[in-house]
Amino acid sequence: MEKEFPIRQVLDGEGNITDDSYDLSEELVKDLYGKMLRARTLDKKSVNLQRQGRIGTYAPFEGQEASQVGSASALGEGDWMFPTYRDHGATLTFGHSVTTIMLYWKGRVEGCVPPEGKNIFPPAVPIATQLPHATGAAMAEKRKGTDRVSIAYFGDGATSEGDFHEGLNFASVFKAPVVFFNQNNGYAISVPIEKQMNSKTIAQKSLAYDMDGVRVDGNDVLAVYFETKKAVEKARRGEGPTLIEAVTWRYGAHTTADDPTKYRDQQVSEEKRNKIDPLLRLERYMEKQGFFDEQWKQDVTAQCDREIEQAVEEMEAFPDADINDMFGHVFKEPVWTIEKQREDYLTFKRGETV
């Protein structure tokens, strides 16, 4: 199956072009680099904020910037995005503000609200539940006669969930204009992919639903961008869904509450930084092309730092989250099960026995 679904690449880890069929303009390359640097700056700052107790548990994504930024950059203004709890690099690229993303990790409901005119669903914490939602939104746009497309993000672990298969099946049957974007980093929390499934690739799962399946180097932002763009344009033409498997690697933990040293050799992870890092390979490419400038990088870095620091100030100006919001935004009308949970919490808070 690895032969039937080869990993598509534009740049290798050293910044060498492996596929010269694309127009790699300086403007595009620098734009994607700046977006990835912005996402990584947000990610590193958020980890530090969590360690300082200024936000709650956080899901880092360092190493997966190319997958998220490249795919999100291929979308159109009115398209739909269905992220997981780890895809704030994608939502940031697609229009969420840094402040909004930080408010989400502070527990504020404002963190789930996209900017006016942006179709970004709240991050899905239950695994794979967003795939049928993305399919449904795409089917709705198709029935309304628009050319809007949905993209659903999910990890390799989500492919073992029923919602994954239901979402793909509906999309296949109704030729829904949706892109299923998988970030395969080799681990579903502590479970390596070879213990989770017997399939050699995730892309091959597309065969069961008679849809296109593609594997791409998820650390090559250019390959991700162009392959996602193809899938988006195909969906926009009414030619049905695509399953993209972005083979990537996350350097850090599943969340800040996780200890990856219990199940993964972190030395291997650190060694990968010099071999496959998304930002480093783009820097190497730009250097070889003669348009990488250290002062430009410092200017972009300083701009990212200023934006992140301002967002931290704005986030911390908000009061702490109200625990009642957790119960008040589940159903349109209160139901007894949720009200019982609220009562139990209030009882526990008063120090009484539940």
**Residues with a known catalytic role:** 250, 254, 263
- Computed from CA positions of residues 90, 96, 99, 101, in that sequence, does the dihedral angle turn out positive or negative? negative
Report the residue count for the chain.
Answer: 354
| In the chain, domain spans | 7-319, 322-354
* HSE, side-chain direction, 13 A CA sphere, residue 186: 15
**CB-CB contact of 222 with 22 (8 Å):** yes
pLDDT at site 2: 86
Chain-centre distance for alpha carbon 70: 10
DSSP 90-126: HHHHHT--HHHHHHHHTT-GGGGPPPTT-EEPPPB-S
Confidence of residue 325 (pLDDT cuts 50, 70, 90): confident
In angstroms, the CA 194 to CA 275 distance is 23
Superfamily in which the 7-319 domain is placed by CATH: Thiamin diphosphate (ThDP)-binding fold, Pyr/PP domains (3.40.50.970)
For the segment 245-300, what is each residue's pLDDT rounded down to a tens digit? Answer: 999 999 999 999 999 999 999 898 989 999 999 999 999 999 999 999 999 999 99
The CA-atom distances, in angstroms, between 64 and each of 60, 125, 278 are: 9, 18, 8
